[in-house]
Chain A
Amino acid sequence: MTTQHTTTPAPGTADTTTATAGPPPLPLSPDPHTSRTLGRILVGTGALTAFASTMLPWTWTSAFPGNLTIAMYPAGLQLLTLTAAVLTAAMLLATAGVRGLRWLTPGGRHSALLLLTLGNLAATWYTAAAIAVELGGVVNFEPGMWIAAAGTLLAAVGALALPTDLPADLPAGLPADADADRPAPGTRQGPPWQRLRRAVAAPPPGPAAPLPGWAEILVICAACAAGLYVFAYGIEAEGGPPFIGFLILAAFAFPALGRAGLPRRLSALTVAHRTVTLAATFAAALLFPITQSNEAYTNIAVSVLIFATVALGLNMVVGLAGILDLGYVAFLGVGAYTAALVSGAETSSLGIHVPFWAAVLIGAAVALVFGLFIGFPSLRLHGDYLAIVTLGFGEIFRISVQNLDGDSGPNITNGPNGIPNIPDLKIFGFDLGQPHTVLGFEVGRFGNYYLLMLLFTAIVVTVFRRSDNSRIGRAWIAIREDETAARAMGVNAFRLKLMAFALGATLAGMAGTVLAHVEFSVTPESYKFVHTAPPNSAFLLIAVILGGMGTVSGPLIGAALLYLIPAKLQFMADYQLLLFGIALVLLMRFRPEGLIADRRKQLEFHEPEQLGTPTAAAPGLGKTEA
């Protein structure tokens, strides 16, 4: 990111005093210019204070998770405040038009700043509250905590005094007129809530200035590195306050960056350099186990990866072909059980041990057969009926496996006991169960499996991308859009839906073969329709919807969130499903296209005026921001 300074003139961001500014939500002075100056001073002072406070101890005891007691050594939650403060300072300089930093805010300026300062306020004050609650009272604060709280509050107040960016849904002349004519802006702008909403709206970024190719590639790599860092921080954060603080800041910071227009710029770059992006993302993912010293975290990471891969497979069925499959986890189970049966576990009824590649092929093939077997009768149904039938088949799988125990049927699966003690994989003499040293870094058992699973994730990503953008993928989407019209255009709808269903099943089966080895054992209880922990059919579907249907990165991010949140916040296990339900309702209300919007979906759920016409405003944006 830093390499851009001299090369980006950032058109259209130079003047901050033009008609693109509306009245501030909280004017500090009747004169808008004074208010803006005061606001900037406050934000700057606040950011600096917050930054300085992270160098001081926040509490006296290391009993609070993250050890916030050492001077000049920010740790745990202090790192969040530090990052947010640095970002705030950089963005403040960018909004003030400092040369070399203006690329930070190609879209909205003050809205991004406002969200960022609010996020820092929330995260820091949450930390203070957590310390006070866990250690018993504000007496446990060191001066640094007070300074941090004051600094973040100062910055947030200052950001509220900055003029709003021109919201996309307001006519261009209106805010400027209000600014000019009225001596006391803010008096006639509606209730505070609406003012705040207007203040966090932002216009889309203008077209990017051309960069040299190497700089664009560097930017992509830097973004991947940043992504890896954020993900690693999230995984490493201890359960409880540090993770919640991380979530709070992330919930504000990502929209803030979005308002600033950086993701749009980045996606334009990724479309231009697709191969580089894929390679950089893959490299970042490869590096992850090396950054980890603790096996517990790589264990989480490999589970996240399996869950995400299966979610991506489901996305092909649901997102592309529009088949609502509520029993998808059964195919994961088919793959896992098949691998368990043929991989030499002592309790396996087959008692054979085939090499891993053969186990993968057998697992995928058996899942394919199951997919065809279930899909053939049920895909003649549509909509709700199909969903109910797939839900039924999913449960039939679990109950059958539970009953094939020798009592109520032939003993194939050992019933509820499952198949334990699946031996670790040995590929070319490389024992995945033992830690190995790679380039001077030790990679443990889960690290090994993580790297193996990454290969399968890459396969699924490739299959998804290539089938999406082809004759078959277009036919799937056409069926999703209007099956009658698709058939009238010559698409054999049943055959193509069966193809999508079976392909999805195959990919899930493939992931299942790895899952069986990672988890040592398979039991029927892991493949329910709904359960408090992933993977289960309901969570897979939520991951797809939360992340964004029809995209590659959506389900991956959705799955990561859905896995990490229950894993990190075990104290709320009892309310987990309720909270997810509420979150899903809110998501459908405010962002129906999911966290990562398919370019098509983005146009579907929002008025085209808000986004600009696809050809004119964003020539670089592809169909999917994936």
Chain B
Amino acid sequence: MTTTTTTPGTPAPGTGSGGAVLDASGVTMRFGGLTAVRDVNLDVHAGEIVGLIGPNGAGKTTFFNCLTGLYIPTEGTVRYRGTVLPHRSHLVTQAGIARTFQNIRLFANMTVLENVLVGRHTRTHEGLFSALVRGPRFRRAERESEERAMDLLRFTGLETKREHLARNLPYGEQRKLEIARALASEPGLLLLDEPTAGMTAVETTATRELVLAIRAQGTAVLVIEHDMRFIFNLCDRVAVLVRGEKLVEGTPETVQRDERVVAAYLGTPFEGEPGQAEAAEVQAAEEAEAAAHRDTAGGADAHPPDPADRRQEGRTD
């Protein structure tokens, strides 16, 4: 991992520093009468971390599946480094796009090391015959694969668990193992589908460090997430998908300030905003209560919770 990656892109953040790794244009996915993704254009440049956000059911994972060949998009093309991607997921992986899944899909009854070794499948070519003969080339390839896999396990901090079954790992480590497995295919672009779902704040921070480290090694990252703080702290660019259409794309600041995004997440107020008076009342009451609490607690560290924190605590998945 540290020595050879297929992307020699510069690790410097910022847009457009090294040509488009991924170029999806006009991707549309229809299931019967339902249009899950409508005419989405998205490009990811080398060395970039792009976030994809949107409310539940906005079509983010469907879009991911279109990119990775699990679904064949009804319209539109996906290019990786200028070549159109085939609609077979193993060929997409071979081309250089690896992914993780929203609900963890490890090979539960294989060991941690074996999981990562499966990820190396496309980068090794020893067939059945060479496995049966076990010549020196086969052994060298196996040894190299294992070394690479161990590098990745060290990179993700799982090296002590190599002989554990994947299903016996704690949740956070399973997520890490999925990333390590995806990295084993030496991707130029890594697609992460909700990598911090269900994680604690500490684990989320660790995941952010991990993603930044992956970028520092030259792999571009496209990440779906619901955790806004994670996305806005991490990404160079954020695209917002709402009801299958791309609403906004831009820097985290631009997206954060965009009214349409706020509306998509929180809904638009009615004409005349009938609830406003009540909302102000509730807010005043809360503030009063918080003030009283601060008085009794001695005012050491009882500040009102950060809205982002509160959002995180509220998440159940």
Question: Are A614 and B110 touching (Cβ within 8 A)?
Answer: no
Instruction: Assess whether B143 is interfacial by the CB under 8 Å rule.
Output: no
Q: Given A478-B118, A482-B107, A600-B110, A463 and B164 touching (CB < 8 A)?
A: no
Contact bitstring B101-128, A, C-beta under 8 A = 1, else 0:
1000111111100100111111010111
B262 to chain A, nearest CB (A): 34
Instruction: Assess whether B148 is interfacial by the CB under 8 Å rule.
Output: no
Question: Are B132 and A608 touching (Cβ within 8 A)?
Answer: no
Question: Are A615 and B109 touching (Cβ within 8 A)?
Answer: no
Complex alpha-carbon distance, A600 and B113, angstroms: 13
Instruction: Assess whether B68 is interfacial by the CB under 8 Å rule.
Output: yes
Q: Which of A462, A482, A601, A613 has the most chain B CB atoms inside 10 A of its CB?
A: A482
Instruction: Assess whether B293 is interfacial by the CB under 8 Å rule.
Output: no
The residue from A471, A493, A499, A615 contacting B90, defined by CB atoms under 8 A apart:
A493
A489 to chain B, nearest CB (A): 5
A459 to chain B, nearest CB (A): 10
Tell me which residues across on chain A come within 8 A of B164, comparing CB atoms.
613-615
Complex alpha-carbon distance, A347 and B99, angstroms: 60
Question: Are A485 and B127 touching (Cβ within 8 A)?
Answer: no
Residue of A nearest to B94 (CB): A490
The residue from A471, A489, A601, A623 contacting B111, defined by CB atoms under 8 A apart:
A623
Question: Are A484 and B105 touching (Cβ within 8 A)?
Answer: yes
Complex alpha-carbon distance, A466 and B134, angstroms: 8
Q: Given A474-B117, A478-B118, A485 and B106 touching (CB < 8 A)?
A: yes
Question: Are B121 and A481 touching (Cβ within 8 A)?
Answer: no
Tell me which residues across on chain A come within 8 A of B142, comparing CB atoms.
470-471
Tell me which residues across on chain B come within 8 A of A482, comparing CB atoms.
105-108
Question: Are A490 and B121 touching (Cβ within 8 A)?
Answer: yes
Question: Are A467 and B132 touching (Cβ within 8 A)?
Answer: yes
A457 to chain B, nearest CB (A): 16
Q: Which of A477, A489, A492 has the most chain B CB atoms inside 10 A of its CB?
A: A489
Q: Given A467-B132, A490-B121, A600 and B165 touching (CB < 8 A)?
A: yes
Tell me which residues across on chain B come within 8 A of A492, comparing CB atoms.
90
Instruction: Assess whether A295 is interfacial by the CB under 8 Å rule.
Output: no
Instruction: Assess whether B207 is interfacial by the CB under 8 Å rule.
Output: no
Tell me which residues across on chain B come within 8 A of A613, comparing CB atoms.
164
A112 to chain B, nearest CB (A): 28
Complex alpha-carbon distance, A475 and B123, angstroms: 13
Q: Given A467-B128, A470-B126, A471-B131, A485 and B94 touching (CB < 8 A)?
A: no
Tell me which residues across on chain B come within 8 A of A490, comparing CB atoms.
90, 93-94, 119, 121-122, 185
Question: Are B107 and A481 touching (Cβ within 8 A)?
Answer: yes
Complex alpha-carbon distance, A72 and B98, angstroms: 74
Question: Are B132 and A477 touching (Cβ within 8 A)?
Answer: no
Complex alpha-carbon distance, A486 and B134, angstroms: 24
Question: Are B109 and A488 touching (Cβ within 8 A)?
Answer: no
Question: Are A487 and B90 touching (Cβ within 8 A)?
Answer: yes
Complex alpha-carbon distance, A493 and B70, angstroms: 13
Tell me which residues across on chain A come within 8 A of B176, comparing CB atoms.
none
Tell me which residues across on chain B come within 8 A of A503, comparing CB atoms.
128
Complex alpha-carbon distance, A467 and B127, angstroms: 9
Complex alpha-carbon distance, A615 and B158, angstroms: 13
Tell me which residues across on chain A come within 8 A of B89, comparing CB atoms.
484, 487-488
Question: Are B90 and A491 touching (Cβ within 8 A)?
Answer: yes
Question: Are A489 and B131 touching (Cβ within 8 A)?
Answer: no
Interface size class of B (residues with CB under 8 A): 35 or more
The residue from A472, A601, A604, A623 contacting B131, defined by CB atoms under 8 A apart:
A472
Question: Are A478 and B110 touching (Cβ within 8 A)?
Answer: yes
Question: Are B163 and A614 touching (Cβ within 8 A)?
Answer: yes
Residue of B nearest to A459 (CB): B132
B59-114 CB contacts (< 8 Å) to partner A: 68, 70, 88-90, 93-94, 98-99, 101, 105-111, 114
Complex alpha-carbon distance, A623 and B162, angstroms: 12
Tell me which residues across on chain A come within 8 A of B99, comparing CB atoms.
488
Tell me which residues across on chain B come within 8 A of A470, comparing CB atoms.
126, 128, 131, 138, 142
Tell me which residues across on chain A come within 8 A of B106, comparing CB atoms.
482, 485
Complex alpha-carbon distance, A467 and B98, angstroms: 26
Question: Are A491 and B131 touching (Cβ within 8 A)?
Answer: no
Contact bitstring B7-39, A, C-beta under 8 A = 1, else 0:
000000000000000000000000000000000
Q: Which of B93, B105, B121 has the most chain A CB atoms inside 10 A of its CB?
A: B121
B91 to chain A, nearest CB (A): 8
Complex alpha-carbon distance, A487 and B185, angstroms: 12
Question: Are A608 and B90 touching (Cβ within 8 A)?
Answer: no
Contact bitstring B173-214, A, C-beta under 8 A = 1, else 0:
000000001101100000000000000000000000000000
A89 to chain B, nearest CB (A): 39
Q: Given A472-B128, A490-B93, A600-B110, A485 and B165 touching (CB < 8 A)?
A: no
The residue from B109, B118, B138 contacting A489, defined by CB atoms under 8 A apart:
B118
Question: Are B110 and A477 touching (Cβ within 8 A)?
Answer: yes
B222 to chain A, nearest CB (A): 15
Complex alpha-carbon distance, A623 and B163, angstroms: 9
Question: Are A488 and B122 touching (Cβ within 8 A)?
Answer: no
Q: Given A466-B131, A491-B90, A603-B165, A486 and B118 touching (CB < 8 A)?
A: yes
Instruction: Assess whether B167 is interfacial by the CB under 8 Å rule.
Output: yes
Complex alpha-carbon distance, A499 and B132, angstroms: 14
Instruction: Assess whether A473 is interfacial by the CB under 8 Å rule.
Output: yes
B96 to chain A, nearest CB (A): 10
Q: Which of B93, B114, B118 has the most chain A CB atoms inside 10 A of its CB?
A: B118
A117-148 CB contacts (< 8 Å) to partner B: none
Question: Are B127 and A472 touching (Cβ within 8 A)?
Answer: yes
Instruction: Assess whether B254 is interfacial by the CB under 8 Å rule.
Output: no
Q: Given A471-B124, A472-B131, A478-B110, A491 and B118 touching (CB < 8 A)?
A: yes
Complex alpha-carbon distance, A603 and B114, angstroms: 15
Question: Are A471 and B168 touching (Cβ within 8 A)?
Answer: no
Complex alpha-carbon distance, A478 and B114, angstroms: 9
Residue of A nearest to B191 (CB): A488
Question: Are A463 and B126 touching (Cβ within 8 A)?
Answer: no
Residue of A nearest to B104 (CB): A485
Question: Are A477 and B121 touching (Cβ within 8 A)?
Answer: no
Q: Given A477-B107, A482-B107, A488 and B118 touching (CB < 8 A)?
A: no
Q: Given A490-B93, A490-B122, A604 and B107 touching (CB < 8 A)?
A: no
Q: Given A481-B108, A482-B105, A614-B163, A489 and B126 touching (CB < 8 A)?
A: no
A488-536 CB contacts (< 8 Å) to partner B: 488-493, 499, 503
Residue of A nearest to B126 (CB): A471
Residue of A nearest to B68 (CB): A488
Question: Are A478 and B107 touching (Cβ within 8 A)?
Answer: yes
Question: Are A486 and B70 touching (Cβ within 8 A)?
Answer: no
Complex alpha-carbon distance, A492 and B86, angstroms: 13
Tell me which residues across on chain A come within 8 A of B141, comparing CB atoms.
471
Question: Are A474 and B110 touching (Cβ within 8 A)?
Answer: yes
Question: Are A489 and B110 touching (Cβ within 8 A)?
Answer: no
Question: Are B181 and A489 touching (Cβ within 8 A)?
Answer: yes
Residue of A nearest to B110 (CB): A477
Contact bitstring B125-157, A, C-beta under 8 A = 1, else 0:
011100110100010011001000000000000
Question: Are A608 and B168 touching (Cβ within 8 A)?
Answer: yes
Interface residues of B (CB under 8 A from A): 68, 70, 88-90, 93-94, 98-99, 101, 105-111, 114, 117-122, 124, 126-128, 131-132, 134, 138, 141-142, 145, 160, 162-165, 167-168, 181-182, 184-185
Interface residues of A (CB under 8 A from B): 462-463, 466-467, 470-475, 477-478, 481-482, 484-493, 499, 503, 600-601, 603-604, 608, 613-615, 623
- 20 A-B residue pairs with CB within 8 Å: A466-B131, A470-B138, A471-B121, A471-B126, A474-B110, A475-B121, A477-B114, A478-B121, A482-B105, A485-B106, A487-B90, A488-B90, A488-B98, A489-B181, A489-B185, A490-B121, A600-B109, A601-B109, A604-B108, A615-B162
Closest 8 CB pairs of A and B: A490-B122, A470-B131, A490-B93, A485-B105, A481-B107, A478-B118, A487-B89, A490-B121
